[in-house]
Amino acid sequence: MTDRYIEISLLKRQVVCRAKLLDDRAPLTCAAVWDALPLSGDVYHAKYARNEIYALFPPFAPHEPPLENPTVTPIPGDLCYFSFAGTELATNAYGYDDEVRPGTTLVDLALFYERNNLLLNGDVGWVPGIVWGQVIEGLEEMADACNDLWRAGALGETLSFRRA
């Protein structure tokens, strides 16, 4: 199989990085994401996992991918896939809008931009993610933008994933 690449961008901040899909390690997840691209949504900065930005999407795969290439300690440049029932995210502690509610399922596509991440949530415990891509270009600029997002706020910013 030929290597596949995507671009991840923060639109308002005009920063883009490039990632290689890990088809050899997470083939079902890579196929699901690739087939759904392009995807864009409001960006959030993690409260619990630390150095992570992500967007939430309605489920887009015919079947949820199994937990392939899992991690609870993502490294800088990892792209992770999570699937959550709305009841897992519907408490006021998370601060989501009305789209996160019981009876929904959400896909979380995340980019980890710095070290020392731990996918441990006080409400539910360990939250393993599927590592499906690795940033290969532009991580330093993206990390700077992510730190700005953490300090200045995410309101009005969009996280976008598209084929490169």
pLDDT at 123: 78
Task: Give this prediction's pTM.
Answer: 0.93
pLDDT at 85: 85
Residues 55 and 39 sit within 8 Å (Cβ to Cβ): yes
Phi and psi for 87 in degrees, rounded to 5?
A: -65, -25
What the block records as the tokens of 164 is 């490169």
- Containing H/E element for 34? helix 27-36
pLDDT at 161: 98
pLDDT at 103: 76
pLDDT at 90: 66
Distance between CA 9 and CA 160 in Å, rounded?
Answer: 5
- Rg for the chain, CA atoms, rounded: 15
Q: Which residues of the chain have pLDDT under 70?
A: 90-101
pLDDT at 48: 80
CA count, 13 A, side-chain hemisphere, 88: 15
Query: Burial code of 35-69, b = ≥16 C-beta within 10 A, e = fewer?
Result: eeeebebbbbbbeebbbbbbbbbeeebeeebeebb
